[in-house]
């Protein structure tokens, strides 16, 4: 395999530093902009190559020594060797590059990134992989090889302290489990453990799980779920507070943002941009269990909330009642189908909020524009699909006005983004 000397110029939207040789991009993990390194090419593609770091000849001043001994092995935090300010700058750049290069968008304000309130100890939930030997940990980068762990520096302390409980629970289970999530409950310093199973539930686990909870006071609830089935023991819900005065109770396995304080910043920013008033009829797509829905409903006249996951919708309805919010209409539906139905009925909304999965909202632009909202707020965890979708909306009469990157995931390349689009006179 060919060995070269390479200067690293930038970071990719991924776990790589990027250098160039003879015009071709070379992606190298564990490198930092400013590094000069000896690199072995391990994979060659038509328009780029992948290399492995052999040795640093001149380390970048942006480097830092990772605090975690698993860094470089575990694939969970591929940027721990990069100073946090440099991480933030790279995330801003990844958003800007996607919008201008993929979306061909211009004329918008790219606001400075909202930094995570915590650089470490920020995750209220972690997902641990489990293997056939009943070990738990994270996968090695770009593989399914397990790196067994005894602690995790990005987990909240209450979550990390439950790691041994998760290991003990796994050893007792007869049901075959693919991964376990440890989720901080939000009360009493306790946690919920949720295991995703392969195959059927083993009936012997019913009594053993009840016994486990009796012995483990720090774990308040257990969940096992698989294809077409779900079982729970104890109080298997977590508490969320997206803003002051709101309390949500959500099933432990239902999606929730991992960065509690960062999420509060994101909710506050979205509410400020939305300028929701009691005259507004708002539509929220991919609403989940109501992280944005409930705060919006405190301000808007009516919210129509649409989500495909039935348990999230059930949780949302419960939390509407818990918080005395009667102006939310929850609909469990495939989002594209629901948007077509709204369009066909000639419905309209003042504001639209959408927070799709990483795959984005491709194909929704015609239906969205037919709803004639004055403003669309798009929350995304994937800059490339965000850029694609915003470009499609811009071709149908919406103008991108401002964008705010938000760092909810320090030491990874992932970045959340809030984008605002405003309807123009040319909207179709």
What amino acid positions are annotated as catalytic residues?
381
The β-bridge partners of 180 are 128, 195
Label the pairing between strands 24-29 and 136-139: unpaired
**Residues 6 or more apart whose Cβ sits within 8 Å of residue 206:** 231
Contact 334, 327 (CB under 8 A): no
* Rounded Cα gap, residues 172 and 209, in angstroms: 8
What is the SS3 assignment for 19? Answer: strand
Q: Rounded to the nearest 5 degrees, what angle is found at the Cα of 413, between the Cα atoms of 56 and 38?
A: 15
* Rounded Cα gap, residues 288 and 382, in angstroms: 17
Contact 366, 393 (CB under 8 A): no
Q: Order the strands of the 229-234 sheet from edge to edge.
A: 146-148, 136-139, 125-130, 177-184, 191-197, 219-226, 229-234
* Rounded Cα gap, residues 325 and 300, in angstroms: 11
| Cα 93 from chain centroid (whole Å) | 19
* Rounded Cα gap, residues 75 and 25, in angstroms: 22
Contact 428, 397 (CB under 8 A): yes
Label the pairing between strands 237-240 and 3-11: unpaired
Contact 351, 282 (CB under 8 A): yes
- Residue 332, both tokens: 């469990």
What DSSP assignment string belongs to 294-344? Answer: HHHHTTSSEEEEEES-HHHHHHHHHHHHHTT--SEEEEES-HHHHHHHHHH
Give φ, ψ of 271 to 5 degrees. Answer: -65, -40
């Amino acid at each position: 395999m060919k060995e070269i000397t390479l200067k690293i110029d930038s970071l990719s939207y991924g776990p790589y530093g990027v250098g160039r040789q003879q015009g071709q991009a070379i992606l190298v993990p564990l490198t930092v902009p400013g590094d000069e390194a000896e690199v072995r090419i391990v994979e060659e593609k038509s328009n780029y190559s992948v290399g492995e770091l052999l040795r640093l000849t001149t380390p970048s001043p942006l480097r830092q020594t990772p605090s975690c001994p698993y860094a470089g092995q575990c694939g969970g935090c591929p940027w721990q060797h990069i100073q946090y300010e440099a991480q933030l700058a790279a995330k801003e750049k990844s958003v800007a590059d996607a919008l201008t290069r993929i979306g061909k968008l211009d004329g918008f304000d790219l606001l400075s990134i909202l930094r995570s309130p915590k650089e470490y100890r920020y995750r209220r939930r972690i997902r641990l992989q489990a293997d056939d030997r009943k070990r738990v940990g994270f996968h090695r980068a770009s593989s399914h090889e397990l790196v067994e762990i005894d602690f995790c520096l990005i987990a909240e302390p209450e979550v990390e302290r439950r790691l041994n409980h998760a290991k003990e629970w796994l050893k007792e289970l007869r049901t075959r489990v693919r991964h376990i999530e440890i989720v901080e409950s939000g009360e009493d310093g306790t946690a919920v453990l949720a295991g995703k199973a392969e195959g059927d539930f083993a009936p012997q686990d019913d009594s053993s799980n009840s016994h486990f909870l009796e012995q483990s006071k720090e774990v308040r609830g257990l969940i096992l779920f698989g294809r077409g089935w779900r079982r729970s023991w104890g109080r298997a819900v977590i508490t969320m507070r997206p803003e002051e005065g709101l309390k949500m109770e959500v099933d432990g396995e239902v999606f929730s943002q991992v960065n509690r304080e960062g999420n509060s910043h994101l909710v506050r920013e979205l509410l400020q941009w939305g300028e929701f008033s009691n005259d507004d009829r708002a539509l929220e797509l991919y609403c989940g269990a109501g992280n944005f829905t409930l705060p919006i409903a405190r301000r808007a006249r009516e919210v129509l909330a649409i989500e495909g996951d039935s348990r999230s919708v059930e949780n949302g309805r419960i939390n509407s009642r818990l918080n005395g919010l009667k102006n939310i209409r929850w609909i469990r539906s495939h989002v594209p189908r629901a948007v077509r139905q709204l369009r066909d009925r000639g419905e309209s909304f003042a504001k639209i909020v959408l927070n799709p999965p990483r795959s984005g909202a491709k194909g929704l632009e015609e239906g969205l524009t037919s709803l004639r909202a004055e403003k669309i707020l798009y929350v995304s965890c994937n800059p490339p699909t965000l850029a694609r979708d915003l470009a499609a909306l811009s071709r149908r009469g919406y103008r991108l006005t401002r964008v705010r990157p938000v760092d909810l995931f320090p030491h990874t390349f992932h970045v959340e983004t809030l984008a605002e689009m405003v309807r123009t006179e040319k909207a179709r």
